[in-house]
A and B are shown apart, each in its own frame.
Chain A
Amino acid sequence: MKLEPLRYDLKIIASWIEPESKILGLGCGEGDLLYWLKKEKNVKERGIEIEESKVVKCIEKGISVLQGDINEEIEDYPDNAFDYAICSQTLQQVYEPSNLIHAMMRVAKMGVVSFPNFGHIKVRMQLALAGSAPVTKELPYSWHDTPNIRVLSLNDFKKFSEQVGFKILKKAAINTKENQRHGKMVTFLPNLFATYGIFLIGKE
């Protein structure tokens, strides 16, 4: 199978992962990131994905994956079974994010969390000027059909880390275009100009 170039945000996550490590991908989709890490960094991968068709895609690629709900499936792994638990663009869809973060910090030494930034200027403008619930490229759903029930900003995540009790080891604020294939780092007012935030987190 040909190794496709990774999406911009996944490239950043991949760059943070040590070779030969053990990875748990939560909501791993069709397994693009896990497949890339397996081929390029020789990691031992496990994925959890709820959609049958995506699970099949993973297994076709040779990725080890379980079909199921990430909140339930993460519970059965022994403590520190992984080096990294990765939750890429899924946290905003989780009913109890703090429970999931605790579970990630139990089964893995470190965690990677990424999510669309609800503090982005376009989001703010839509609510402030049009007075309607924001719909953006990163959060493309209407209020009534969105799976994104826990929208948050980069600043919110920092506060959350203090409340829940984990350390932010690395962070990247990014701005992406062309379906996230390309992008750049945002250093100036990231909470206003970044479309996504990516965090490497560790235990306190």
Chain B
Amino acid sequence: MSEYIDQDQSGATVGIVEKQFFTFSTPPDMMKLESGSSIGPVTIAYETCGSLNQDKSNVILVLHALSGDSHMAGYYDPKDTKPGWWDIMVGPGKGIDTDKYFVICSNIIGSCAGSTGPSSINPETNKEYGTHFPMITIGDMVEAQKALFDHLKIKSILSVIGGSVGGMQVLEWCVRYPGMIKSAIPLATTTKHSALAIAFNEVARQAIMADPNWNDGHYYSDKKPDMGLALARMIGHITYLSDESMRLKFGRKLQNRSALSFEFGAEFQVESYLQHQGKKFIERFDANSFLYITKAADYFDLAGQYGSGSLVKAFAKCQSKFLIVSYTSDWLYPTYQSKEMVKAMKKNNLDVSFCEIDAQWGHDAFLLPSDRLDNLIRGFLRSASDET
């Protein structure tokens, strides 16, 4: 996912928020991972907005995508220039209304934004894990979030909401803890990566690993693989846009010049844009986290894991009410992948709504201001909370 963090036009905001931490699985009670390895202690960063009602029935869990973090809305400091990544959606009177709901956003295990990940210190060596960090899965991310919910003593979630890799976590939650999830909104997501999606991820990972500074993942006390990570991000950004959005946004426009200069600098605007995105990304993201999280997304296969290949079987135990949203120009997780989900849910007699939003902005459309998505989410949440 990209960064489209803009101030909400309405000026409505949740105000000042604080990043909180929860640590669990302290050795010897380590967290068992799906790969068979164990890890501990595990810290999860999270943030909350709104207030929990008396019977704890107004909880919404927001799950972030690949490069996101727990900072979904508001500001850490009044001097911050930018709010959290989904400030346009989460706040008083917004699509996810913090006057009504208690909204939690949990960072994922493997991340570099406060939770335990490859850049954390391995207690056994007192050095960063690097590539000694165990492989993680979407299921492991959900297990760590479940530990946080146990700690918060929240037993029921009104809605889990997330886009892209966040949407995968939404689906995993619904399949893993069917009784706990009243409703779910997977946005611009899939039940498994296509070969195309894996291919892009692999090229991005190779870009990082080919950077001489990567040093098999042990670079924390030295120069970082910035070139590789920036390149990986540039590849990602191509997949988040679309032919149409790139045509409209850049076309063949030139950057700061009126004619071609016949050199290998960023002559076209699209080149300059991608380079800028790459540079911004290296300031805030860890290359190893990128490797681990993209790998987790590639491993994700709901039908394979829970239905011996059948998506219908995988959703058999689900009880949640669903709202599935796809975007016409999303070529990373095209609409047909959402429709496969819808089909399997219908065959299970699940209460599923589906909308394909006509948008030219590609995969990233779910992060852009859209009255349509606000209204869909607001209406769906209202009906979900009426029914409980």
B382 at interface (Cβ–Cβ under 8 A)? yes
Q: Mark the stretch among B45-53, B126-134, B216-224, B371-379 that contacts chain A.
A: B371-379
Central interface residue in A56, A65, A78, by most chain B CB within 10 Å: A56
A60 at interface (Cβ–Cβ under 8 A)? yes
Inter-chain CA distance A68–B346, complex, in Å, is: 13
A33 at interface (Cβ–Cβ under 8 A)? no
- B344-366 vs A: 1/0 string, CB under 8 Å? 00110101111111100000000
- The one of B351, B355, B383 that contacts A56, using a Cβ cutoff of 8 Å: B355
Task: Tell whether, in the assembled complex, residue B382 and residue A62 are in contact, meaning their CB atoms are under 8 Å apart.
Answer: yes
Q: A residues touching B (Cβ–Cβ < 8 Å)?
A: 44, 46, 52, 55-56, 58-68, 73, 76-78, 81
Inter-chain CA distance A62–B382, complex, in Å, is: 7
Inter-chain CA distance A9–B314, complex, in Å, is: 42
- The one of A52, A64, A73 that contacts B353, using a Cβ cutoff of 8 Å: A64
Known: A60-B375, A76-B343, A77-B346. A65 touches B356 (CB 8 A): no
B321 at interface (Cβ–Cβ under 8 A)? yes
Central interface residue in B323, B342, B351, B353, by most chain A CB within 10 Å: B353
- The one of A52, A66, A73, A77 that contacts B358, using a Cβ cutoff of 8 Å: A52
SS class of chain A's interface: helix, strand, loop or mixed?
Answer: mixed
23 A-B pairs within 8 Å (CB atoms) are namely A52-B356, A52-B357, A55-B353, A56-B372, A56-B375, A56-B376, A58-B353, A59-B380, A60-B379, A62-B380, A62-B383, A62-B386, A65-B353, A65-B354, A66-B342, A66-B346, A66-B352, A67-B355, A73-B346, A76-B346, A77-B347, A78-B347, A78-B349
Inter-chain CA distance A73–B339, complex, in Å, is: 10
Inter-chain CA distance A56–B375, complex, in Å, is: 8
Task: Tell whether, in the assembled complex, residue A64 and residue B349 are in contact, meaning their CB atoms are under 8 Å apart.
Answer: no
Closest B residue, CB atoms, query A55 = B355
Task: Tell whether, in the assembled complex, residue B342 and residue A60 are in contact, meaning their CB atoms are under 8 Å apart.
Answer: no
Q: B residues touching A (Cβ–Cβ < 8 Å)?
A: 321, 323, 339, 342-343, 346-347, 349, 351-358, 372, 375-376, 378-380, 382-383, 386
Closest A residue, CB atoms, query B343 = A76
- The one of A60, A68, A77, A78 that contacts B354, using a Cβ cutoff of 8 Å: A68
Q: Distance (Å) between the CB of B353 and the closest chain A CB?
A: 5
Known: A66-B342, A76-B346. A59 touches B353 (CB 8 A): yes
Task: Tell whether, in the assembled complex, residue A59 and residue B376 are in contact, meaning their CB atoms are under 8 Å apart.
Answer: yes
Inter-chain CA distance A134–B372, complex, in Å, is: 38
**Top 8 A-B pairs ranked by shortest CB distance?**
A62-B383, A60-B379, A76-B346, A66-B354, A76-B343, A59-B379, A55-B355, A64-B353
Inter-chain CA distance A59–B349, complex, in Å, is: 18
Closest B residue, CB atoms, query A48 = B354
Contacts of A77 in B (CB 8 A): 346-347, 349
Contacts of B321 in A (CB 8 A): 64
Q: A52-B357, A76-B346 are in contact. List 15 more A-B contacts (CB 8 A).
A: A46-B351, A55-B355, A56-B355, A59-B323, A59-B355, A59-B375, A59-B379, A60-B375, A60-B379, A63-B383, A64-B351, A66-B353, A68-B339, A68-B354, A78-B349
Contacts of B380 in A (CB 8 A): 59, 62
Inter-chain CA distance A61–B343, complex, in Å, is: 23
Inter-chain CA distance A59–B355, complex, in Å, is: 9
Inter-chain CA distance A58–B375, complex, in Å, is: 11
Contacts of A67 in B (CB 8 A): 354-356
Inter-chain CA distance A124–B372, complex, in Å, is: 44
Contacts of A73 in B (CB 8 A): 346
Closest A residue, CB atoms, query B385 = A62
Q: Distance (Å) between the CB of B329 and the closest chain A CB?
A: 14
